[in-house]
């Protein structure tokens, strides 16, 4: 389990007063008062004699001071000794701390079984933090359904006790259907409870659900309320909330449209390294939204997002490198980025890789690889890839023509309404190549392609000995709410 998971909760305990009742012992009362006044050195000197007498509360506070090095030299081993005194006497704060320390490896070896023992003791006394920690421990135990269901039960119990983190985690499980039946309405309710309590991730996730209508009665998005919750989380520095709020400003959903505000918010998130925000900043510069159009800055931001694996950013950067927009023309680098996006399933990138291999742009000419990538794009519905496959098979792949395959791909593109493919299919029917000769079908396809289009295509074919269709540069605006994935640990 990552060290940060329980770290914040653990040191929230260290920073505040314990849950146990105040004792009547004068030395303990004086020591606690000194802690309140942040007189840590005096508090340590006052509390140590009480701890040595076996007072659980004094032992707890001495352990906390030793663990943090406040008022005394930091000594994790000594801290564990006094926390054990308090825990063995039934102090639930000490039990929780020992459990969390065993998870994180603070003063104790990392040991999930020891952690489970101490956290279970604290949870049995009603400690909501321990219940939350047990849920996290179950989640980290493995992907099995049994562990997931146990985690859900612990989060539900802790959520009912009012623990905001547990409420958020319980909501995430309800929203995703992990370990419990999916219930977006209940998820929305629990996100709101945690959000009202100030949990930043819950505020952001509440914004996500409201902006997409998930869990909302009638399924209609409530953009205004989404903007309010996004805004609260964004002010606290949550990058994903800043990005989500930026989208609302860009689209004028729930707020007045304001491209400049959108860009400010995108930048805030991008400077924290949020890849989707980096891509959004790139789009803003590419289109001149909220700022002057600037291809160089657009390419810079696309590259930053591309390096983090944003597929559209990889594709757009490749387009800009191919066309010399914001970067010198570099077909080798363009091919590299097209390939990355193509391997992740982006149809447009698959088409471009097919074209690059067919024409030898940035890569060695290779008809076999051209066919491979064209077929990937064609299977995803790309009509130009279907058409180019028809051309390849008609003219011969590696010296071997296949009229039947050519007809197959022309028919596929023609059926999708692509005019040049209609014309080519008509020619095949007229000549009986790859299909049974039929002047009637040829006439029908010629008619659909239109005589005027036929003339234009004939003229284009004479001018271009390599009649492949290449995409024109287009930076697609596919900026969408990343709301289908709720965020959480």
Q: Average pLDDT of 264-289?
A: 97
Q: Per-residue confidence at 20, pLDDT binned at 50, 70, 90?
A: very low
pLDDT at 26: 75
Residue with tokens 């791909």: 409
Give the 3-state DSSP-derived string for the chain, with helices as H, strands as E and coil as C: CCCHHHHHHHHHHHHCCCCCCCCCCHHHHHHHHHHHCCCHHHHHHHHHHHHHCCCHHHHHHHHHHHHHCCCCCCCHHHHHHHHHHHHHCCCHHHHHHHHHHHHHCCCCCCCHHHHHHHHHHHHHCCCHHHHHHHHHHHHHCCCCHHHHHHHHHHHHHHHHCCCHHHHHHHHHHHHHCCCCCCCHHHHHHHHHHHHHCCCHHHHHHHHHHHHHCCCCHHHCCCHHHHHHHHHHHHHCCCHHHHHHHHHHHHHCCCCCCCHHHHHHHHHHHHCCCCHHHHHHHHHHHHHCCCCCCCHHHHHHHHHHHHHCCCHHHHHHHHHHHHHCCCCCCCHHHHHHHHHHHHHCCCHHHHHHHHHHHHHCCCCCCCHHHHHHHHHHHHHCCCHHHHHHHHHHHHHCECCECCHHHHHHHHHHHHHCCCHHHHHHHHHHHHHCCCCCCCHHHHHHHHHHHCHHHHHHHHHHHHHCCCCCCCCCCCCCCCCCCCCCCCCCC
For residue 457, what pLDDT is reported? 55
Domains and CATH numbers, the chain: 314-463 (1.25.40.10)
160 has a pLDDT exceeding 60? yes
Over 90: is that where the pLDDT of 144 sits? no
Query: What predicted TM-score, i.e. pTM, was given to this entire model?
Result: 0.82
d(CA 222, CA 214): 10
Length of the chain: 489
**What would the mean pLDDT of 418-424 be, rounded to a whole number?**
90
> Of the candidates 353, 346, 300, 293, which has an alpha carbon nearest to the alpha carbon of residue 322?
353
Structure tokens at 185: 């309405």
The answer, yes or no, to whether residue 22 has pLDDT greater than 60, is no
pLDDT in tens, 105-127: 999 999 999 999 999 999 999 99
> What's the CA angle centered on 142, arms 139 and 146, to 5 degrees?
75
pLDDT of 180 strictly over 70: yes
Q: At what angle do helices 184-196 and 164-176 cross, to 10 degrees?
A: 160
Task: Report the candidate in 75, 76, 97 with the shortest Cα–Cα distance to residue 86.
Answer: 97
In 3D space, the residue among 296, 293, 272, 276 whose CA is nearest the CA of residue 284 turns out to be 293
At residue 340, does pLDDT exceed 80?
A: yes
Whether the per-residue pLDDT at 332 is higher than 70: the answer is yes
- Residues linked to residue 397 through DSSP beta bridges, in sequence order: 400
Q: Are 232 and 207 in contact (CB under 8 A)?
A: no
Instruction: Name the token pair of 468.
Output: 């492949």
Query: How sure is the predictor about 156, in pLDDT bands with cuts at 50, 70 and 90?
Result: very high
**Lowest mean pLDDT: which of 6-15, 251-260, 438-447?**
6-15
Tokens representing 326 are 């914001």
Please write the tens of the pLDDT for every residue from 440-461. 999 999 888 875 365 555 666 6
pLDDT of residue 482: 34
Per-residue confidence (pLDDT) for residue 55, from 0 to 100: 95
Q: How confident is the model at residue 19 (pLDDT cuts 50, 70, 90)?
A: very low
Most confident stretch, 10-14, 383-387, 448-452: 383-387
Q: Looking at residues 195-211, what average pLDDT do you find?
A: 97
Taking CA 187 as the corner, what is the angle to CA 135 and CA 133, rounded to the nearest 5 degrees? 15
From CA 312, how far away is CA 346, in angstroms rounded? 8
Q: Please indicate whether residue 3 or residue 89 has the higher confidence score (pLDDT).
A: 89
User: pLDDT at residue 417 above 90?
Assistant: no
The pLDDT of residue 463 = 63
């Amino acid at each position: 389990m990552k060290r940060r998971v329980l770290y914040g909760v653990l040191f929230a305990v260290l920073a505040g007063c314990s849950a146990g009742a105040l004792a009547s012992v004068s030395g303990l009362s004086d020591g606690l008062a000194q802690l309140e006044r942040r007189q840590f050195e005096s508090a340590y000197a006052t509390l140590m004699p009480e701890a040595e007498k076996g007072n659980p509360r004094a032992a707890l506070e001495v352990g906390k001071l030793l663990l943090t090095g406040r008022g005394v030299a930091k000594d994790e081993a000594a801290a564990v000794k006094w926390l054990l005194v308090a825990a063995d006497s039934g102090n639930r704060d000490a039990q929780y701390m020992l459990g969390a320390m065993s998870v994180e490896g603070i003063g104790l070896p990392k040991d999930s079984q020891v952690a489970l023992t101490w956290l279970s003791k604290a949870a049995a006394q009603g400690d909501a933090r321990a219940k939350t920690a047990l849920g996290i421990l179950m989640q980290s135990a493995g992907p099995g359904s049994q562990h997931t269901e146990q985690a859900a039960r612990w989060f539900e119990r802790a959520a009912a006790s009012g623990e905001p983190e547990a409420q958020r985690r319980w909501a995430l499980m309800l929203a995703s259907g992990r370990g419990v039946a999916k219930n977006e309405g209940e998820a929305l309710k629990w996100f709101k409870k945690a959000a009202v309590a100030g949990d930043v991730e819950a505020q952001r996730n509440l914004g996500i659900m409201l902006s997409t209508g998930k869990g909302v009665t009638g399924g209609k998005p409530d953009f205004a309320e989404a903007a309010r919750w996004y805004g609260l989380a964004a002010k606290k520095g949550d990058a994903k909330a800043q990005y989500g709020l930026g989208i609302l400003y860009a689209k004028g959903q729930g707020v007045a449209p304001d491209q400049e505000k959108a860009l400010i918010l995108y930048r805030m998130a991008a400077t924290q390294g949020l890849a989707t925000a980096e891509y959004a900043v790139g789009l803003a510069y590419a289109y001149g939204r909220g700022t002057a159009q600037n291809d160089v800055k657009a390419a810079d931001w696309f590259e930053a997002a591309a390096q983090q694996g944003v597929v559209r950013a990889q594709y757009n950067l490749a387009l800009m490198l191919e066309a010399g927009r914001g970067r010198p023309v570099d077909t080798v680098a363009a091919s590299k980025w097209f390939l990355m996006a193509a391997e992740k399933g982006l149809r447009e990138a698959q088409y471009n890789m097919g074209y690059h291999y067919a024409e030898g742009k940035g890569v060695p000419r290779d008809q076999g690889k051209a066919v491979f990538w064209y077929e990937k794009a064609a299977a995803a519905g790309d009509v130009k890839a279907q058409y180019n496959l028809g051309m390849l098979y008609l003219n011969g792949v590696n010296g071997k023509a296949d009229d039947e395959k050519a007809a197959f791909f022309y028919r596929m593109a023609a059926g999708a309404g692509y005019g040049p493919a209609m014309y080519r299919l008509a020619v095949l029917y007229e000549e009986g190549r790859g299909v049974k000769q039929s002047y009637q079908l040829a006439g029908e396809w010629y008619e659909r392609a239109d005589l005027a289009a036929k003339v234009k295509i004939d003229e284009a074919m004479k001018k271009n000995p390599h009649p492949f269709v290449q995409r024109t540069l287009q930076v697609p605006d596919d900026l969408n709410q990343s709301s289908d994935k709720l965020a959480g640990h």
